[in-house]
Amino acid sequence: MRIDVVTIFPGYLAPLREALLGRAIDAGLISVAVHDLRTWTHDVHQAVDDAPYGGGPGMVMRPQVWGEALDAVVGDVPSGEAPPRLIVPTPAGRPFTQAMAHEYAAESRLVFACGRYEGIDQRVIDDAATWMPVDEVSIGDYVLVGGEVAVLAIVEAVARLLPGVLGNPASAEQDSFSDGLLEGPAYTRPETWRGRAVPDVLRSGNHGAIARWRRDRALERTAARRPDLLAALPPTALDRADRAL
Ligand SMILES: N#Cc1c(-c2ccc3ccn(Cc4ccc(CN5CCOCC5)cc4)c3c2)n[nH]c1N
């Protein structure tokens, strides 16, 4: 997968080259190019923002600069080749979900536009949508200062799903949300720590009982913390033992 990120703070994306993602890049599973938006300014101040039409707080990012940047970064898409998907983090975006991470993991190329200030002139998104798929997404119901943190989160969520990136592929297959529930508590050695013992069932070697216990803890936790996920489960998702909990 090829990933391009356009930002006025390229250094913010440095963590993409660390740890698991860094190893995936070194292994050639992913290529990441970070581009400084100011490359496509032509004035001495390298201005990327201006006052909002209609008034209001803050500044808006200028369409000319973004238009030239995306034209250059996306480049000419060879005929017959699918254009990349443009992902634009924004507080007003569609909630980013694990299902979307799987969708994006199937793409051969993703381009991320990191806004700052009060966001990017809407015409940039509208123009881009005439020649590539564009998703305006949000990583949560809280307000950040720009799109870079969201890109780090989205890229990590997507990259870990790519074959060969995770050491243990089963980990992604057993993700939280993959069965619609939050995962339950996890434990490792020592057996007792500060007077707290690991639940006996996990040391019993009875795999059926362990699976049941884990499912029960996942159902309890989901009901307590994300009742919306429980309500969204199809009726067939809960078996008789689940309902007896
Ligand atoms: N993903 C994601 C995000 C972001 C995110 C993503 C991208 C950018 C680019 C600029 N910002 C700052 C910003 C702050 C506030 C506002 C709202 N204003 C709109 C106009 O009225 C006043 C209020 C807009 C933009 C961003 C924030 N925040 N939270 C998420 N889950």
Mean pLDDT of the chain, nearest integer: 95
Structure tokens at 188: 């490792």
Other beta carbons less than 10 A from residue 18's beta carbon? 10
Q: What are the residue ranges of helices labelled H in the chain?
A: 19-26, 63-74, 98-105, 122-128, 148-159, 169-173, 207-225, 227-232, 240-244
For the stretch 126-184, pLDDT in tens is 999 999 999 999 999 999 999 999 999 999 999 999 999 997 776 676 676 668 899 99
- Residues whose beta carbon lies within 6 Å of some atom of ligand 1: 57, 89-91, 93, 115-119, 138-140, 142-147, 150
Residues 106-134, mean pLDDT to the nearest whole number: 98
Q: Cα(224)–Cα(212) distance, rounded to whole angstroms?
A: 18
DSSP assigned state of 120 = B
Residue range 8-60, pLDDT digits in tens:
999 999 999 999 999 999 999 999 999 999 999 999 999 999 999 999 999 99
Report the catalytic residues: 91, 118, 160, 175
Kindly provide the b/e burial profile for residues 182-218, where b requires at least 16 CB atoms within 10 angstroms of the residue's own CB.
Answer: bbbeeeeeeeeeeeeeeeeebeeeeeeeeeebbbebb
pTM: 0.94
CA of 139 to the centre of ligand 1 (A): 11
CA-closest residue to ligand 1 atom 30: 91
Q: Is 70 exposed, middle or buried (0-12, 13-18, 19+ CB in 10 A)?
A: buried
Residue 177's pLDDT is what?
60
Cα-flanking dihedrals φ and ψ of residue 93, to 5°?
A: -85, 170
* 52: its two tokens: 């909002």
User: Contact 89/154 with Cβ under 8 angstroms?
Assistant: yes
Probe residue for ligand 1, chosen from 61, 118, 124 as the CB with the greatest number of ligand atoms within 8 Å:
118
- CA-proximal residue: ligand 1, atom 18 (nearest): 118
CB of 127 closer than 8 Å to CB of 153: no
Q: Which of 30, 201, 178, 25 is nearest to 105 (CA)?
A: 30
